[in-house]
Copies of this chain bind each other. A is one copy, B any other.
């Protein structure tokens, strides 16, 4: 069944066109790379994908297109603490990540879990949280089991 290629490509494309932006092959391919990607994708990865079928694209076009798509609300950014930002189609909905600091695994986190937090931020601080992509760092289930005795990784008590 794969991805409904035409749908995912046509809607954002149409959206851009209606706004007066030109539909160039580069933009369409960049859009496709993002919407077809299962996970969050970085600018470099988009560039790699696109240039595989269209070698003359330039990385700066990728960045300019990403800026446009973000501006138009078609993609959102996530900072997973890697020193680089990742992108993701806005229509795929928001979700959050648990990033394991031991093994690097990334787990998706149900949005609902953050609702209580959002509510109390609103109630107690009158702060309207925009939690579209949140990365929470820590240690995953598997790594916890493997290293059961330890409780934290940079704890200051170490007496070797």
Min CB distance, A35 to chain B, in Å? 14
Q: How far is the CA of A71 from the CA of B158 in the complex (A)?
A: 12
**A58 near B: Cβ within 8 Å?**
no
Known A73-B155, A121-B136; contact A127-B114, beta-carbon cutoff 8 A? no
Given the complex of chains A and B, what is the CA–CA distance between A15 and B160 in angstroms?
13
Complex Cα distance A130/B120, Å? 21
Q: What per-residue 1/0 map shows which CB atoms of A138-157 lie under 8 Å from chain B?
A: 11110010000000111110
The contact of A109 among B125, B134, B154, by CB within 8 Å, is B125
Residue A101 at the B interface, CB < 8 A?
yes
Given A90-B156, A127-B139, 13 new contacts (CB under 8 A): A71-B154, A73-B154, A73-B158, A79-B79, A98-B121, A100-B127, A114-B117, A126-B140, A126-B141, A126-B144, A127-B141, A128-B139, A128-B144
Copies of this chain present in the complex amount to 2
Task: Report how many residues on chain A are interfacial, defined by Cβ distance under 8 Å.
Answer: 43
Residues of chain B within 8 A of A138, CB atoms compared:
121, 127-131
Q: Find residues 92-133 in chain A having any chain B CB closer than 8 Å to their own CB.
A: 98, 100-101, 107, 109, 113-114, 116-117, 120-121, 124-131
9 contacts between A and B (CB under 8 A): A90-B156, A98-B121, A98-B129, A109-B121, A113-B124, A126-B141, A127-B139, A130-B138, A130-B152
CA distance A121 to B71 in the complex (A): 32
User: Which residues of the partner chain B approach A114 to less than 8 Å between Cβ atoms?
Assistant: 117
B residues less than 8 Å from A100 (CB atoms):
127
CA distance A94 to B120 in the complex (A): 19
